Amino acid sequence: MRHLFATALFATTFAATAVSAAPERYELDPDHTAVMFTVDHVGYAATLGIFGEVAGTFMYDMETQELSDVQVTIASKSVNTFHDARDNHVKGSDFLNVSESPEITFTAEGGDPSGQNSGTVTGDLTILGQTHPITLNVTLNKAEAYPFGHKRFVLGLSIDGSLKRSTYGMTYAVANGLVGDEVDIRIETEAMRIE
């Protein structure tokens, strides 16, 4: 009888662990997600830009820290560099060409946890209709139920990486060095578990 009880307890515990270890889907909180970039301007200073319209989902396994099925969409027209004339230029054909390419997308099938609460994710970034691989560094800042408001389980993530805009056909002012080719990216987001 004691052996039967122990076996049943183990089976129940194992089942609970298996259920809790399953990957779960999260969605980016649009009110707490910022996609930022900096790019060199004539060697004097870096210009900051932010995309204000971002949506996305992904799967995350709390036990293995594996990230998968990442789908993120950014509205190109939502770019803001805090200068109206520059914003109009960035939205035009020299840069983002928002009338022809209204979305920037990032998709990834898996991540690579490298340590406690950190790792990388490699996926496909599409800008101006051109798709190329990019690797981003990901840090998990916090994972627990939100203390107020919606009170859903939330992951706080910091993400960074870089790309060469010429890779995507955005070559304006690269050759003469007026605008840098390398673009540094930083993303701060709170992602809510879909229940």
- The one-digit pLDDT tens for each residue of the chain (195 residues) are 333 333 333 333 333 333 446 999 999 999 999 999 999 999 999 999 999 999 999 999 998 888 899 999 999 999 999 999 999 999 999 999 999 999 999 999 977 777 678 999 999 999 999 999 999 999 999 999 999 999 999 999 999 999 999 999 999 999 999 999 999 999 999 999 998
Residue pair 140/65 in contact by the 8 Å Cβ criterion: yes
Rg (CA), the chain: 21
Q: Please list, in sequence order, all residues whose beta carbon lies within 8 angstroms of the beta carbon of residue 75, skipping any fewer than 6 positions away.
A: 51, 52, 53, 54, 102, 103
Model pTM score: 0.87
Q: How many CB atoms lie within 10 A of CB 133?
A: 9
Measured over the CA atoms of residue 43, residue 182, residue 76 and residue 189, the dihedral's sign is negative
H/E element holding 17? Answer: helix 2-20
Domain ranges of the chain: 23-193
At which residue do the structure tokens 């060469």 appear?
164
Residue pair 96/88 in contact by the 8 Å Cβ criterion: no
Q: How many CB atoms lie within 10 A of CB 117?
A: 13
CATH of the structural domain 23-193, one choice from 2.40.128.110, 2.40.50.140, 3.30.70.20, 2.30.40.10: 2.40.128.110
